[in-house]
Structure 1
């Protein structure tokens, strides 16, 4: 059994299940700082030492042993499906990535050809109809998730509950699941329950938004991108995310959770 997407501090003070587009860069840097008293110089996703990651073969045995015995505080962070899918569109589809190229090579040309989307030209900076292109992107997302065509679902727009579930199915248990929208409160609760080599002053920690500046600025409020059909598609794709993590499907303008997350319910429903 494996624990894909799982990171652990070298001191084994905490275990984190990464969920893309849910403050993962900031959380990773906090974990790194809590062990080393400094931040990783660069994107934490590129770090090949100083932090255990399941993707590193030498990290798998210590992560597996820790999660199986539930030796450390385990947590993850979730986000409103409406704002998360919008962020994925502007960052991964419209934006130029940190390597100077388009995300996943031929993905954007495929979307332009098959779904008629626009992305703001070669550099993502030309004006275009963001609402129309985003709604066409949603059709593509639905196709990848429901029928796995024209490609497999991407981690940046596959459901949060799917990421969260792998940790549970393979034998892990979360001590905390908190919201990106209440990040300081949730992350502080994690820090209060862990002993780290270096104290973390959350108020002094910068936000490491590695996707910021990759793509064009969002020109409209969140709710402008979602008509009745778009909302239906989002609910079809992310129904479990709305229900388990207590987000408001009826109102795309409300990014905040509407109730508390029930950890027992999450483990029961995602542990099948």
Structure 2
């Protein structure tokens, strides 16, 4: 299986396991900048050179050798499951993608037809009942994760613990897992722990939010989207994420972590 979703700088200064919707565009650009002294021109997910990625065949033996020998500092970044699933909904389901089309072609028509979801359109200013549609999207999310129907789960809404675990199960070990909500602190610790060919000043790094501006803005506070049934579904799908990454399941309005991540616990529970 190897190390899907793993990126490494060309200088092998650092290794990163991508978790979708958790600041991965910004992290990738920082890694690219730390080697080249300039940002990648475009979305870092499209880069096919300047950064080793598991998806690039020539990079695979280099990543595998590095990770299995733990030659470089390895890290990942996580996010509150409530805000992550909302972000996935607004970006991937309601938004128009970089190529000017809907995400995954026939996915949105399928959701409209099978789950009664509305997504609005740029022409009508994305006017629709966000709360009702989001709750129906959650049912679809649960169906994909629990029964793999009507399709396999998508990387943007499958549990973070699933992404994080493949790295451990195939022989990798994390030196740090930090929270998107405390990005500068976490990324700052990573940069302090490694030697990069080019100096990175975190204070001046822009946020590369590639999904911003392609769809509707969230019209309500986070907690308004989650009633008792929604929270039940969220618990069913993301219970490990809340437990391992120390987020508050009981209060959707609290996006901040409520404890420290225990790396030994993460490795023990996700390495099984």
Give the TM-score normalised by structure 2: 0.99
Structure 1 residue 122, shift from structure 2 partner? 6.0
Distance 1:118 1:125, change over 3 A: same
1:144 is matched with 144
Alpha-carbon distance between aligned partners in 1 of 2:252 and 2:18, rounded to the nearest angstrom = 24
Counterpart position of 2:211: 211
Q: Deviations over 1:27-65 (max 9, x none)?
A: 000000000000000000000000000000000000000
Question: Counterparts of 1:30 and 1:268 in 2: how far apart (Å)?
Answer: 30
Distance 2:168 2:217 in 1: 36
Distance 1:32 1:270 in 2: 29
What do the CA deviations read for 1:144-202 (whole angstroms, capped 9, x no partner)? 00000000000000000000000000000000000000000000000000000000000
Residues 1:197 and 2:197 are matched in the alignment: yes
- Provide the rounded CA distance (Å) in 1 between the counterparts of 2:87 and 2:76: 19
Q: How large is the RMSD of aligned CA atoms in angstroms?
A: 0.8
Kept in 2: contact 1:95–1:124 (CA 8 A): no
Q: Give the superposition deviation at 1:124.
A: 7.2
Distance, in Å, in 2 between the alignment partners of 1:246 and 1:169 is 21
1:86 maps to: 86
Does residue 27 in structure 1 map to residue 47 in structure 2? no
Distance 1:56 1:218 in 2: 35
Q: How many Å apart are 1:121 and its aligned residue?
A: 3.0
In the aligned structure 2, how far is the partner of 1:33 from the partner of 1:230? 40
* Runs of 4+ off more than 2 Å: 121-126
Question: What are structure 2's unaligned runs of at least 5 residues?
Answer: none
**Residues 160 and 241 of structure 1 are in contact (CA less than 8 Å); yes or no, is this contact kept in structure 2?**
yes
User: Aligned to 1:63, what secondary structure does the other structure show?
Assistant: helix
Rounded to whole Å, the distance in 2 between the matches of 1:232 and 1:199 is: 45
TM-score, with structure 1 as normaliser: 0.99
1:244-259 superposed matches below 5 A = 244-259=244-259
- What is the match of residue 226 of structure 1? 226
CA contact (8 A) 1:96 1:123 kept: no
Change (3 A) 1:16 1:255: same
After superposition, the C-alpha distances for 1:108-142 in whole angstroms (9 at most, x for unaligned) are 00000000010013657331100000000000000
Q: Deviations over 1:62-84 (max 9, x none)?
A: 00000010000000000000000
Please name the residue that 1:2 is paired with: 2
Counterpart position of 1:11:
11
Q: What is the CA-CA distance between 1:214 and the residue it aligns to? A: 1.4
Q: Helix, strand or coil: the match of 1:104?
A: coil
In the alignment, the residues of structure 2 paired with residue 124 and residue 209 of structure 1 have an alpha-carbon distance, to the nearest angstrom, of 24
* Alignment size in residue pairs: 272
Retained in 2: the 8 A contact 1:242–1:248? yes
- Deviation string, structure 1 residues 195-227 (Cα, Å, up to 9, x no partner): 000000000000000000111000000000000
Asked whether the equivalents of residues 76 and 178 of structure 1 are also in contact (C-alpha less than 8 Å), the reply is yes
Counterpart in 1 of 2:118? 118
**Equivalent residues in 2 for 1:125-204 (5 A)?**
125-204=125-204
Determine helix, strand or coil for the equivalent of 2:144. Answer: helix
The offset of 1:99, in angstroms, is: 0.2
Whole-Å separation in 1 of the counterparts to 2:101 and 2:153: 20
Whether contact under 8 Å (1:95, 1:123) holds in the other structure is: no
Which structure 1 residue ranges, 5 or more long, are not aligned?
none
